[in-house]
């Protein structure tokens, strides 16, 4: 429940702040539109968007629904996956997809061409910082889920091809702990380097989607 509560609270702060104070129009728009212009909404392609920006937008949508690659990891840790997994995945999509669509439409309606990415930054002044602060626990949790999935894959691969022993995957030994901690350290250092080398949020989402997202 907290994982859902934090994002909803952060989004409500952004929506209320945009409804009351409007977006920051002193800067150029998302696609380089002039500053201090009336809000404009487009339902079709933006003529100011280049090919790479359009494709990046598609990859960002793919990233938003990329959690399916973690389903197998979640399933294997369930007590009764044959009974519990199907209801869980149904409820996930019943809740997640409408939330994504509604939130995106409302924020775009209130911020227009001055929406930024991530959308929480569209809120004016302190409201944006408060929203980010509230969302930090969920962002960390989501990152850990994806990281844990990748580290488990790396761990299985190393144990199978290097150590050549799948029978000891769950053994509490120095070897298994060393491999697990090594995979985790290597993964998070690599993620940290990539996150700092590609500071633009949209770009890192696009690259991550192109490289790792499966459907």
Condensed to tens digits (0 to 9), the pLDDT of residues 70-129 reads 677 777 777 888 888 888 888 888 888 888 888 888 888 888 888 887 788 888 888 888
With the C-alpha atoms ordered 135, 72, 149, 101, is the resulting torsion angle positive or negative?
negative
Instruction: Please tell me the predicted confidence (pLDDT) of residue 215.
Output: 55
| Tally: H helices and E strands in the chain | 7, 0
Nearest 5°: phi and psi at 95?
-90, -45
Instruction: Please tell me the predicted confidence (pLDDT) of residue 147.
Output: 86
- Closest alpha carbon to 134 in 7, 17, 14: 7
For tokens 């844990």, the residue is 148
> How many other CB atoms are found less than 10 A from the CB of residue 93?
11
Instruction: Please tell me the predicted confidence (pLDDT) of residue 145.
Output: 79
For tokens 């990046």, the residue is 56
Pairwise CA distance, residues 193 & 123, whole Å: 29
Instruction: Please tell me the predicted confidence (pLDDT) of residue 186.
Output: 94
Instruction: Please tell me the predicted confidence (pLDDT) of residue 187.
Output: 93
**pLDDT tens series, the chain, 215 aa:** 556 677 888 888 888 888 888 887 777 777 777 787 888 777 777 777 777 777 877 887 887 777 766 677 777 777 888 888 888 888 888 888 888 888 888 888 888 888 887 788 888 888 888 888 888 888 888 788 778 888 988 898 888 888 776 567 777 888 888 999 999 999 999 988 887 887 777 777 777 777 777 65
Residues 6+ apart with CB under 8 A from 107: 11, 14, 15, 18, 115, 119, 122
Instruction: Please tell me the predicted confidence (pLDDT) of residue 2.
Output: 56
Pair 62, 202: CB distance under 8 Å: no
> Is the peptide bond between 114 and the residue preceding it cis, with omega within 30 degrees of 0?
no
Pairwise CA distance, residues 96 & 120, whole Å: 18
Pairwise CA distance, residues 121 & 205, whole Å: 16
- C-alpha pair distances (Å), 63 with each of 27, 69, 146, 158, 208: 27, 11, 12, 27, 8
Pair 23, 110: CB distance under 8 Å: yes
User: pTM for this one?
Assistant: 0.71
Instruction: Please tell me the predicted confidence (pLDDT) of residue 69.
Output: 65
Instruction: Please tell me the predicted confidence (pLDDT) of residue 188.
Output: 93
Pair 71, 86: CB distance under 8 Å: no
Coil, helix or strand for 26? coil
HEC string of 29-56?
A: CCCCCCCCCCCCCCCCCCCCCCHHHHHH
């Amino acid at each position: 429940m907290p994982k859902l509560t934090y994002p909803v609270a952060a989004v409500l702060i952004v929506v209320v702040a945009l409804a009351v104070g409007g977006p920051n129009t002193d800067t150029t728009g998302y696609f380089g539109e002039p500053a201090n212009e009336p809000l404009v909404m487009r339902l079709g392609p933006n003529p100011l968007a280049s090919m790479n920006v359009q494709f990046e937008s598609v990859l960002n949508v793919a990233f938003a629904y990329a959690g399916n690659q973690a389903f197998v990891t979640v399933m294997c840790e369930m007590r009764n996956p044959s009974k519990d997994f199907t209801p869980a995945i149904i409820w996930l999509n019943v809740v997640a997809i409408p939330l994504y669509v509604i939130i995106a439409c409302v924020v775009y309606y209130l911020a227009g061409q001055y929406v930024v990415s991530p959308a929480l930054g569209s809120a004016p002044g302190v409201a944006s910082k408060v929203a980010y602060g509230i969302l930090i626990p969920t962002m960390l949790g989501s990152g850990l889920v994806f990281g844990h999935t990748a580290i488990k894959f790396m761990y299985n691969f190393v144990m199978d091809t290097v150590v050549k022993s799948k029978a000891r995957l769950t053994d509490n030994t120095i070897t298994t702990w060393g491999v697990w901690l090594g995979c985790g350290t290597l993964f998070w250092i690599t993620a940290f380097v990539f996150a700092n080398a590609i500071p633009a949020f949209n770009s890192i989402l696009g690259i991550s989607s192109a490289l790792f997202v499966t459907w």
